[in-house]
Structure 1
Amino acid sequence: MSLRENERRILAEIEDQLSTDDPDLAEVLASFDVDDYIAPEDAGGEWKPWAVCGAIAAVVVGLLVALFLAVPGPTPQEEVPAPAGSGAVTQTLTP
C-alpha cells in the first residue's frame, strides 16, 4: 500500500525527530529492513484445513477411547441366598 505525499512527509518528520531525540533507538530501528519481513501467510505456506480437521478427529477419538477405558464394565449379577424354609434355591438380583 503506497502512502500519499502528505503521509510520507509526516513520516519523514517523525523519523528526523526520533533521530534527534533518541539516536540509539533510531539506530536500532534503522537496522530493521522492511524487505526482510515475512508476512505470516508467506511464512508457513498454505493453510491446510484437512490437517486441522484430522487433528480434531484424532483428539475426539482419543477422548472416546479414554472414556471407554475409564468407565467400569457391567457388574456381574449378584446371587442372594433365599431365606431358609422358602423352598427357593437362590434368587438373582439385577441392578
Structure 2
Amino acid sequence: MALRENERRILAQIEHHLTEDDPELAGHLTSFGADDPAFMRAAMGAGWKPWAVCAAIGAAVIGLLIVLFLTTSTQAVQDSAPQQSGDVEVTAPNTQPQAP
C-alpha cells in the first residue's frame, strides 16, 4: 500500500530526528537496508498472504459441503429403495389332491 505524501513527510521527519538523537541506531538500520524501497517491497511480499488463506478455507468448506451433500443424497436413495431381504422364502408344493 502506497503512503500518502503527508505520511512520507512524517516518516522523513522521524528518520531525521532519529539520526540526530541516536546516530548509531540509525547506522544499524541503514546497514540492514531499512531505507531501501526494494527491501521494503521484498519484506512485504514475504509475509503471509491473506488471499491464499481465504482460498484454502473456502476450498475446505466447499469440499465439506460436497461430501455432506453426497452422503445425504446417497442415504436418501437407499431409504427410498424397496427393502429386499437376503432370505428366500421357499414354499412346498401343494400335495393334497384336489376335488373335482
Range class of TM-score, shorter chain: 0.3 to 0.5
Higher RCO structure (Cα 8 Å, ≥6 apart): 1
Q: Which has the higher helix share?
A: 2
More strand by share: 1
TM-score (norm 1): 0.39
